[in-house]
Chain A
Amino acid sequence: MIRERLGAAVLRAYPRPVRTARGLEMLGTLLDAGDISFGSFARESASLGLAGLRERARETSHITVGRLTAEAFRLAALIWITVSLAGIISADLFAWPHGLQGLGGWLLLLWPILLCSLLGYDRAAGVCGIAWVVSVQTPVALGPYSMLALGSIVPLVGFIVMAISPRRRAHGVRPLAWLIPTAAMSLISQPSVLGLGTLGIAALAAATATGLFVVAVSPRLLLASALVWASIGAMYAGQALWRGTPTSPNALLIAAPLAILAVSACLRIISHRTT
């Protein structure tokens, strides 16, 4: 029974269509081949997991650069909302009982956008997102602190992608797992100046590291993380320009995603040459 569960977990390395078509058969073969000893089961499982990842890589290698970029922007918008919401809620929690500023337009619009997107109502999420960015950031962009609006470019593009090219509806509640990091970050994270929170930044770093790890299979997460870093970097740079403070650390924040993108592109090329 344990081996069956382990085998089923390993099979998750394969794309869903392959699992649906052949998952049970592959599991049966894995159990047959692993019957000799636990060592043989472990070897077979590792082989099956690697083959599954190769299958996923083959699947993403057919995606055009345009679609990959669009998906990365959509994912970046989701990450950005998650991190922003966590920052806003944590600011409220830490200010309690004196302040509930997050219950304003930010929170009331961002929650529905996140929920709509997670449940697969991409078009609604995209339209609400565009409305939110335009209503909140236009006055900023037109004001004396226009550089602060730079940070909204990435989520805006992500929302436009959602509105123009919605994904198929998600089934089940699994996509809602995104709410867990939001809630956890809100409860633990100390809000920072830009409302992102230290833990939000740590979560982004973890997402970037995971993106680097899985880049040969799919570069979406790494690209999305890089876009969010660039967005944060742009916000910091905008703030520094507004205050007239030196911008070198902020330049680093903007340069880092470019380096990540370069590494991503190189790894992608290498993986294409070896497969």
Chain B
Amino acid sequence: MELRPPSYFALAALIDGPLHGYAIMQRAGELSDGQVRLSTGTLYALLERAMSESLVTAGDPYTKGGRQRRDYTLTPAGRLTLQEESQRMARAATTVSARLRAWAKRAPA
């Protein structure tokens, strides 16, 4: 299953443990060096999809600072999907890097 960058980094945000919605948005931004900026609408759409595909589970709602929150946890299936996706991207990056290095050696100075 190929993941788009917003889904990839939203799932990656949950590797270290459960997080609530806003924390996922912040963590995804940090992990992507600011390349992926999740908005509230996008976040809940992709969380909904991830839950329907059993990649993520939602905890019970709780209130903190007068605002309702809910923690999301990566499932084993979600962790596996993330691992496969990162390996796929690593393989693709390795292939392209090797081709670029080979071209640089052949190219006249």
Q: Is the CB of A24 within 8 A of B40?
A: no
Q: Which residues of A contact B41 (CB under 8 A)?
A: 44, 47-52
Q: Is the CB of B45 within 8 A of A24?
A: no
Chief secondary structure at chain A's binding surface: helix
CB distance from A18 to the nearest CB of B (A): 8
Interface members, chain B 63-87 (any A CB < 8 Å): 67-70
> CB of B25 within 8 A of chain A?
yes
Contact among B25, B42, B69 with A25 in the assembled complex (CB-CB below 8 Å): B69
Beta-carbon nearest neighbor of A31 in chain B: B67
Beta-carbon nearest neighbor of A52 in chain B: B41
Q: How many residues of chain B are within 8 Å of chain A by beta carbon?
A: 16
Contact among B25, B42, B44 with A26 in the assembled complex (CB-CB below 8 Å): B44
CB distance from B22 to the nearest CB of A (A): 4
Chief secondary structure at chain B's binding surface: helix
Q: Is the CB of B25 within 8 A of A47?
A: no
Q: Is the CB of B70 within 8 A of A25?
A: yes
User: Given A33-B25, A43-B39, are A28 and B67 also a contact pair (CB < 8 Å)?
Assistant: yes
Mask: chain B, 2-35; 1 = CB below 8 Å from A; 0 = not = 0000000000000000001110010000000000
CB distance from B3 to the nearest CB of A (A): 19
Q: Which residues of A contact B68 (CB under 8 A)?
A: 24-25, 27-28
> CB of B61 within 8 A of chain A?
yes
Q: Is the CB of A33 within 8 A of B67?
A: no
CB distance from B12 to the nearest CB of A (A): 19
Interface core residue of B21, B22, B25, B44 (most chain A CB under 10 Å): B44
Complex Cα distance A22/B20, Å? 13
Q: Is the CB of B45 within 8 A of A30?
A: no
Q: Is the CB of A26 within 8 A of B40?
A: yes
CB distance from A274 to the nearest CB of B (A): 15
Q: How many residues of chain A are within 8 Å of chain B by beta carbon?
A: 21
Q: Is the CB of A51 within 8 A of B67?
A: no
Q: Is the CB of B22 within 8 A of A33?
A: yes
> CB of A268 within 8 A of chain B?
no
Complex Cα distance A33/B43, Å? 11
Q: Is the CB of B61 within 8 A of A33?
A: no
Complex Cα distance A64/B44, Å? 27
Complex Cα distance A30/B22, Å? 8
Complex Cα distance A32/B19, Å? 14
Q: Is the CB of B22 within 8 A of A51?
A: no
Contact among A25, A32, A44 with B39 in the assembled complex (CB-CB below 8 Å): A44
> CB of A55 within 8 A of chain B?
yes
Q: Which residues of B contact A52 (CB under 8 A)?
A: 41
Complex Cα distance A51/B61, Å? 21
Beta-carbon nearest neighbor of B43 in chain A: A29
CB distance from A194 to the nearest CB of B (A): 46
B residues in contact (CB < 8 Å) with A: 20-22, 25, 39-45, 61, 67-70
- 6 intermolecular pairs with C-beta atoms under 8 Å apart: A29-B25, A29-B43, A29-B44, A44-B40, A48-B41, A51-B44
A residues in contact (CB < 8 Å) with B: 22, 24-33, 43-44, 47-52, 54-55
16 additional contacts, CB 8 Å, given A29-B20, A33-B40?
A25-B61, A26-B44, A28-B67, A29-B21, A29-B25, A29-B40, A31-B67, A32-B21, A32-B67, A44-B40, A44-B41, A47-B41, A51-B40, A51-B42, A51-B44, A51-B45
